[in-house]
Amino acid sequence: MDERWTRADARPWPARVLAVVVALLVTGPALAPGFVLLRDMVFVPRQDLDADALGLGGSLPRAVPVDAAMGLVTSVVPGELVQKLVLLAVVSGAVLGAARLVPPDDDGRRGPAALVAGLVYGWSPYLAERLLLGHWALLVAWAALPWVLRQSLRLRAGVPGALPRLVLAVAPAALTPTGSVLAAGLVLVTVGRARAPVALGAVLLLASPWIVAGALHPAAGLSDPAGVEAFASRAEGWGGTLVSVLGTGGVWNAGAVPGSRESVLVPLLTLLVVGLAVLGWTARGARSRPAGGLLILGGAGVLLACAGTLPGLSDVLEGAVRAVPGAGLLRDGQKWVAWWALPLAIGAGLGTARLLELVRAHGGGRIATGALATVLALLPVITLPDLAWGVGGRLQAVEYPADWQRVRDALHGQEGDVLVLPFGAYRSFDWNEGRPQLDPASRWLPRPTVTDDELVVGGRPVAGEDVRARTVAAAAGDPAELARLGVGWVLVERGTPGRPVPAEVDALPVVVDGPDLRLHRVPGAAPSPSASLVRVTAVGGTHALGLGVCGVALLWIIAATSTVTGRRLPSWKRVPR
């Protein structure tokens, strides 16, 4: 892998059109009016930039700085539109980014090989299963990885302006802790020793908001080791866990797996794609140090994905999660398959190019090569046909009931935290057709909310880290104790299963009483607890630092572009170097 891999395509439009078509096919139902509310995918019309969004609340900063970014963005763009743009950008960016990583031919074109690489990466079980889990922020990082790799290789080759472009490519991945680690690992193995310090330093600055917020968190960044077993990868079909992971699937939640993954043909088709990638990477022109690093990183991703199911390694993981701050990131091992997805897609593209060359060398004409290219490009679609149309129609948009805006208006300018009942992290509302979804209160309401951060996976509880949440939940039936703890409001969400609401709460003064929500006021509430000045200063400073780094990178690119004179030739008129 050298500078040749990152050159402009002489015919870029086929890959661009493919990216748009795939994005529309995958997101179809989600583009209807309303919000897609499925598991962790919870968008709201306007999210506030509050202490919880900055990582100063009671839970570990898993949504830092993405919640702060959403607070800024939804202050000017409606959340409904933001969600649709994000979903379209994720799918189209993943397909186009992977397609542009295949090296061009002598004529400057990437041809069918690019289309195969884009589809293997962008039409994948990883995308389908993480969409059904609602892990949109993780998918933003996954979609950014091809672009991170492209700029990392350009920086390694000494291309002017590659560093600020690398910063902007890493920025979407750095919206979450996992995304930061994914980007950092990719940069580490591909950028080269000479430029690794400055490149990794830039990644570290972008990741500093969640690093500092986690380090200063009262729970010291430790998590429940029971999550290692609960979130372990699982087999999809007779091929076993390893084959499922090699196909970028194997997610821990059986409810987030498309039905086609149980087909008896899936393991065979998976091995066929893996074999195509092996064929591509064994070609002479594919051998280089960055390529070797990328393959090693992919192997590490597969190992991490399977670690929770392997005796010995699972014990090591549990020990790390129990004792090492931040090691809770490793509990959901299957998400690290993103490292494997890149070399799989690029290798499939290289393998396609090699097979087409062999067919031409043996006298195959346009019809034969075209037929072979079509079959190879359709392999990912045949393997996962129900990714189309919102993963088989499961990404349906719905409207929030009017009660949510009424409660938000009632709490505007008020003091006191909000206890949300029934106490539980996930909801299943009648108005959302019973789909499991994360409680939207923490993002909808203008006051800090107290919600449950304990997870129940397959009937096994995984303890949360918010000590105050457990304390407040234990006092739910004692309004006087709630007031002493700084809880000034209790929101009761109707139409969703959960524990019974204490009778003492029903007796509290009612401020909003609607068919979907009932808001009670807790008289005499003490001031809400706040983070220390040191914690606020440090965490707020790192958010400003990350935003500043992105701003400097953008200004750098603009300034460099403005100094370029002369008319640039269109890509198809340039002479390949």
pTM: 0.95
Q: What angle do CA 334, 340, 342 make, to 5 degrees?
A: 130
Contact indicator for 483, 461 with CB cutoff of 8 Å:
no
Residue 320, sorted as left (phi over 0), alpha (psi -120 to 50) or beta, turns out to be: alpha
Residue 158, sorted as left (phi over 0), alpha (psi -120 to 50) or beta, turns out to be: left
Token reading at 281: 């990477």
Nearby residues of 313 by Cβ (< 8 Å), 6 or more positions away: 303, 306, 307
pLDDT in tens, the chain (577 residues): 767 788 888 899 999 999 999 999 999 999 999 999 999 999 999 999 988 899 998 778 889 999 999 999 999 999 999 999 999 999 999 999 999 999 998 888 999 999 999 999 999 999 999 999 999 999 999 999 999 999 999 999 999 999 999 999 999 999 999 999 999 999 999 999 999 999 999 999 999 999 999 899 876 667 888 889 999 999 999 999 999 999 999 999 999 999 999 999 999 999 999 999 999 999 877 878 899 999 999 999 999 999 999 999 999 999 998 888 888 899 999 999 999 999 999 999 999 999 999 999 988 889 999 999 999 999 999 999 999 999 999 999 999 999 999 999 999 999 999 999 999 999 999 999 999 999 999 999 999 999 988 887 776 778 777 888 999 999 999 999 999 999 999 999 999 999 899 999 999 999 999 999 999 999 999 998 888 999 999 999 999 999 999 999 999 999 988 765 444 545 544 544 4
| Spatial CA neighbour of 181 closest among 383, 335, 2 | 335
Determine the Cα–Cα distance for residues 574 and 552; give it in Å rounded to an integer: 31
Q: Which residues pair with 418 in a beta bridge?
A: 449, 489
Determine the Cα–Cα distance for residues 532 and 19; give it in Å rounded to an integer: 47
Nearby residues of 440 by Cβ (< 8 Å), 6 or more positions away: 37, 42, 44, 400, 404, 427
Determine the Cα–Cα distance for residues 252 and 456; give it in Å rounded to an integer: 13
Determine the Cα–Cα distance for residues 557 and 229; give it in Å rounded to an integer: 46
Q: How far is CA 97 from CA 20, 113, 130, in A?
A: 12, 13, 19
Say if strands 35-36 and 397-398 run parallel, antiparallel, or are unpaired. Answer: antiparallel
Say if strands 517-521 and 455-457 run parallel, antiparallel, or are unpaired. Answer: unpaired
